[in-house]
Chain A
Amino acid sequence: KNQVEQSPQSLIILEGKNCTLQCNYTVSPFSNLRWYKQDTGRGPVSLTIMTFSENTKSNGRYTATLDADTKQSSLHITASQLSDSASYICVVSASGYSTLTFGKGTMLLVSP
């Protein structure tokens, strides 16, 4: 069964600090891994998309890593801002968009 596990479930950090969110998956065959940011009451917004051959991809202060061998990914947020407070969702695709497997997300709260 395809699964995506995210940790931690929730996280509180001080503004300006860095943090790393984890995503472990057992999706096969692997096609790509996506990180999304979802603000409360809004739809998810794409941060990064990584394929099998990509190890690192950055989008501003967000840097995602992928280890396809261990089936792990991380999302690193640098110099956090209050606006980073949101749920971060890891989504893994097997083959085609209809086979997306969503993680439950990590709820990040950045406090002043």
Chain B
Amino acid sequence: GAVVSQHPSWVICKSGTSVKIECRSLDFQATTMFWYRQFPKQSLMLMATSNEGSKATYEQGVEKDKFLINHASLTLSTLTVTSAHPEDSSFYICSATDVTQAYNSPLHFGNGTRLTVT
């Protein structure tokens, strides 16, 4: 079945540094990828939607200059947390789908990245 690989699975960084998280679709073309943020015992919160080859669409309240999203190919999207602060510590999850398939096809999720900013 379809697999979405997310890397790294966890990362610890110092405040003020930048961190890049990769999301890859391994056996299908991900025309659209989504980035979520999840705090403990909370639901997934959509941060942005990215379509291959175009600029990402950010949800209200998400700083596009802080959370840089690149979707340069049909199999790779990256999220870069710039100038990270402790409040950016969270669980970041990506998901991917091929919108050329059925509208109700499964949405495949990565296994998430636990970011801790010290």
- A residues near B (Cβ < 8 Å) are 31-32, 34, 36, 41-46, 49, 51, 89, 93, 96-98, 100, 102-105, 107
Contact = CB atoms under 8 A, between A and B. Distances in A.
B110 to A, nearest CB: 5
B46 interface: yes
A107 B41 CA distance: 9
A42 B44 contact: no
19 contacts: A31-B103, A32-B103, A32-B104, A34-B106, A41-B112, A41-B114, A43-B4, A43-B95, A43-B110, A44-B44, A44-B93, A44-B109, A49-B104, A93-B104, A97-B97, A98-B34, A98-B46, A104-B41, A104-B43
Contact of A43 (B41, B42, B111): B111
Contacts, number: 57
Contacts of A41: 91, 112, 114
Nearest first, the 3 A-B pairs at minimum CB distance are: A43-B109, A104-B43, A102-B43
B49 interface: yes
B75 interface: no
What is the size category of the interface that chain B forms with chain A?
Answer: 20 to 34
B99 A97 contact: yes
Given A97-B97, A98-B49, A102-B44, A42 B111 contact: yes
Contacts of B44: 44, 89, 102
Contacts of B32: 97
Instruction: Determine which residue in A44, A96, A98 has the highest number of CB atoms from chain B within 10 A of its CB, and name it.
Output: A44
Contacts of B97: 97
A102 B45 CA distance: 8
Contact of B104 (A31, A43, A105, A107): A31
B77 interface: no
B73 interface: no
Contacts of A103: 43
